[in-house]
Amino acid sequence: MTSSQRSRLAASWATALALALTLVSGPALAADPKDATLSREDQACLECHAKPGLRKTLANGETLPLYIAPQPFAESRHAREGCEGCHSQIDTATHGKPGNEQKLASKRSHAVESMETCRDCHQKTMKKYDDSVHWALVKTGSAKAPLCADCHNPHATKSTKEANAADDALCRQCHEKVTQAFTASVHGTDGENLECKDCHRTHDVKAATVGDHLRGQCLSCHKETAATHASWLPNAGRHLEAVSCAACHAPNATRRVDLRIHEARGEKAAEKVGVPQFVQFTSSASGKGGLDGRALWSLLQDLSRGNGDDSRTFVRGRLEVQTGVEAHSLAAKGKALKDCATCHRKGAAAFQSVTVSMIGADGRPLRQGASQGILNSVESIGSVAGFYAIGGTRIKLLDALLVMALAGGVLLPGAHLAMKVISARRRKAADQRTSDSD
Ligand code: HEC
Ligand code: HEC
Ligand code: HEC
Ligand code: HEC
Ligand code: HEC
Ligand code: HEC
Ligand code: HEC
Ligand code: HEC
Ligand code: HEC
């Protein structure tokens, strides 16, 4: 709605309501300095709340301003719901009178509680939000993740058509650096002007590096990707799975290998048992230059045991960029990484930086740096066998080990290690089948 449409609508409301009010209560109220489009109940609230100085001090010492501007409220989408539409718990008989002060712990806790009222009328949107990483962050104590009111002022709610124009500004208030990188990228320039929600959506924003949803978004617009890449890239399907799009399309990015701990049934299941174990292992490893092959191996053993089923925890490797800014710095195709040797060469830079990660309680990955040699260590073969582009020597080593294992002539420290190599391969094949059939 344009502002002139809005004021026209407000004006017609004003006329209708002024008429109604004149009939009900005589002209005195309509001439009140407060907006005449408001119901009498709302005007009663605003007797006090339209006083600019009204505020209260909260238990933690913060000041909560209690001023509500009447005009924007009268013009908002919620004018018809009235104050009571959202503040139904207020008892008008006692509210605001001396001696009836409410104890409020902090602005944040008040805001989180107040948000529950949106549930009464916007169930669908709330359901999406309940599924988002932002809500998971709120639940686990983040003081910064957005609540409804951070994007929709409840006392001046605009139609979302108007809000739409400012979508990215809404995300930008908290994700400044990412937004800058995005604006300068191939998607933010040349009149393409994608918006954050084209990939992340608005209310059910998911953790960025969890699952395949973001790659799915890329492929939903770039439908030919598999075919065009296969024309020059052998085993393109495997590359598109093991290498993030940005790792090739953000030309100046620093890359790393992330080894994500999964469970056969999905990424999250290990959370309850797994997170404390992960934290324990990784904090003892961080003193020693990162998690090494042996530590990773025993962590996986431990996690599997915690599940009561030895086969359920495994690791999947992915070559990715290191920062969120880099993930958005996509350039035109001419600048994309095409040289095989950048990755397939002994000592390739991308494989020198390795993290081990696992999904934490807020839905985002917990990460731990791994020691430099982890991808090449014999001790980690059982754990990282599904990911071995690591230069010619690496592949030869693994293949040699596998041949030995298959022949039964195992020279490894323990036969279970070799078994793990084989079963990891089988699992990989099985995974591939399931993902092919989606
Ligand atoms: C659409 C729902 C909704 C309506 C309608 C609404 N409020 Fe609110 N109100 C809220 C929410 C949510 C908060 C908590 C905002 C926050 O701080 O995040 C709030 C907070 C407040 C506060 C505390 C100060 C603050 O900003 O946190 C006052 C005072 C208040 N409302 C008064 C009113 C009055 C008076 C009206 C009618 C003129 C009204 N509200 C209409 C949802 C609403
Ligand atoms: C007589 C003046 C007065 C009127 C009328 C009044 N308020 Fe208040 N309101 C206050 C005062 C004073 C406070 C701070 C009270 C406190 O410290 O607990 C307050 C606090 C609030 C708060 C902050 C949260 C809380 O519960 O402390 C909200 C929300 C609120 N009022 C909404 C309303 C609504 C909605 C109406 C109309 C139904 C209304 N008020 C009518 C004086 C008033
Ligand atoms: C990060 C900003 C942001 C947050 C947080 C947010 N919204 Fe929205 N909301 C928007 C934008 C932008 C739109 C416009 C439509 C779109 O982009 O999906 C919108 C649209 C809406 C709509 C219109 C219908 C629809 O679903 O598209 C409703 C209703 C709504 N939001 C309610 C809520 C409620 C309730 C919450 C809290 C659970 C909330 N919003 C949290 C930004 C936000
Ligand atoms: C008592 C019911 C009620 C409550 C509670 C309520 N809303 Fe609404 N809301 C409505 C109605 C009715 C509309 C107008 C619907 C329309 O315009 O299609 C609306 C419109 C909106 C819109 C604009 C949607 C659009 O498409 O233009 C947003 C955004 C919104 N509400 C957010 C919120 C938020 C955030 C809260 C909680 C602070 C909230 N609402 C609480 C009833 C409610
Ligand atoms: C009021 C602040 C705020 C707003 C508004 C906001 N976010 Fe966030 N968001 C956060 C915080 C805090 C986190 C936690 C991680 C961080 O600090 O980046 C987060 C996390 C995320 C994540 C997950 C990051 C990860 O590590 O996986 C994504 C994706 C995201 N936001 C996208 C968006 C999008 C898209 C919008 C606009 C629709 C938006 N955010 C609006 C505060 C906000
Ligand atoms: C073209 C799709 C796309 C668009 C549009 C997009 N993003 Fe992202 N975003 C991604 C991808 C892909 C990742 C990283 C996933 C990964 O590392 O695998 C990401 C990651 C993030 C993260 C997590 C960063 C971190 O530190 O890990 C945030 C926050 C985020 N995006 C916010 C935004 C905001 C804000 C906008 C709008 C300015 C936006 N995104 C637009 C695709 C997009
Ligand atoms: C191994 C590196 C690599 C990976 C991984 C990769 N790309 Fe590319 N991509 C390229 C190169 C190089 C080109 C340019 C090819 C040419 O035209 O010479 C390209 C071209 C493109 C183009 C331009 C049109 C076309 O298809 O030729 C799009 C769009 C694209 N890639 C999207 C993606 C998406 C989406 C992903 C992730 C699902 C992805 N790429 C993963 C290297 C990669
Ligand atoms: C909403 C649709 C949409 C989504 C989602 C999307 N893109 Fe794009 N992308 C475009 C458009 C439109 C262009 C510019 C026109 C073109 O070259 O196809 C573009 C351009 C590109 C280019 C440059 C192509 C060239 O010819 O130079 C690359 C690379 C690219 N996108 C990669 C990605 C990646 C990676 C993702 C996921 C993180 C993604 N895109 C998500 C619409 C989208
Ligand atoms: C951005 C880094 C990168 C680039 C560039 C790249 N690759 Fe790869 N490649 C990988 C990764 C990572 C894997 C690991 C897949 C795995 O472990 O299953 C891989 C796997 C392979 C495989 C083995 C596939 C399998 O079945 O396991 C071959 C063959 C291969 N790449 C050839 C190439 C060729 C030829 C090029 C150049 C045209 C190329 N790659 C460019 C990273 C890259």
pLDDT of residue 25: 36
Q: What burial letters (b/e) apply to 96-134, b meaning 16+ CB within 10 Å?
A: eeeeeeeebeeebeeeeeebebbeeeeeebbebbeebbb
Of 29, 55, 58, the closest CA to residue 44 belongs to 29
pLDDT of residue 190: 67
Index of the ligand 8 atom closest to the CA of residue 194: 1
pLDDT of residue 110: 96
Q: Is the CB of 164 under 6 A from ligand 4?
A: no
Index of the ligand 8 atom closest to the CA of residue 333: 27
Task: Supply the residue whose CA is at minimum distance from atom 10 of ligand 7.
Answer: 336
Cα-to-centroid distance, 204 and ligand 7 (Å)? 28
pLDDT of residue 403: 45
Q: What is the pLDDT along the chain (438 residues), one digit of tens a residue?
A: 434 444 443 444 444 433 333 333 333 333 344 455 899 999 999 999 999 999 999 999 999 999 999 999 999 999 999 999 999 999 999 999 999 999 999 999 999 999 999 999 999 999 999 999 999 999 999 999 999 999 999 999 988 877 655 567 899 999 999 999 999 999 998 666 899 999 999 999 999 988 889 999 999 999 999 999 999 998 899 889 889 999 999 999 999 989 888 776 655 545 556 788 888 887 777 767 778 877 887 888 777 775 555 456 777 888 999 999 999 999 999 999 999 888 887 777 888 888 989 888 888 999 988 887 777 666 666 666 555 443 334 444 444 444 444 444 333 333 344 334 434 444 444 444 433 333
Cα-to-centroid distance, 255 and ligand 5 (Å)? 22
Cα-to-centroid distance, 14 and ligand 4 (Å)? 21
Residue 331, phi then psi, degrees to nearest 5: -115, 175
Enter the DSSP assignment of 159: P
Index of the ligand 1 atom closest to the CA of residue 65: 24
Mutate to test the pocket of ligand 5, among 132, 134, 167 (most ligand atoms within 8 A of CB): 134
**CA distances for 239 relative to 168, 232, 236, 245, 306, angstroms:** 31, 12, 5, 9, 33
Residue 270, phi then psi, degrees to nearest 5: -75, -5
pLDDT of residue 290: 79
**Strand pairing report for 255-263 and 354-359:** parallel
Cα-to-centroid distance, 76 and ligand 4 (Å)? 9
pLDDT of residue 408: 40
Mutate to test the pocket of ligand 4, among 73, 76, 78, 120 (most ligand atoms within 8 A of CB): 78
Q: Is the CB of 219 under 6 A from ligand 8?
A: no
Ligand nearest to the CA of 205: 5
Pocket of ligand 3 from Cβ distances under 6 Å? 118, 122, 125-126, 129, 146, 148, 150-152, 160, 163-164, 167, 170-171, 197, 202-203
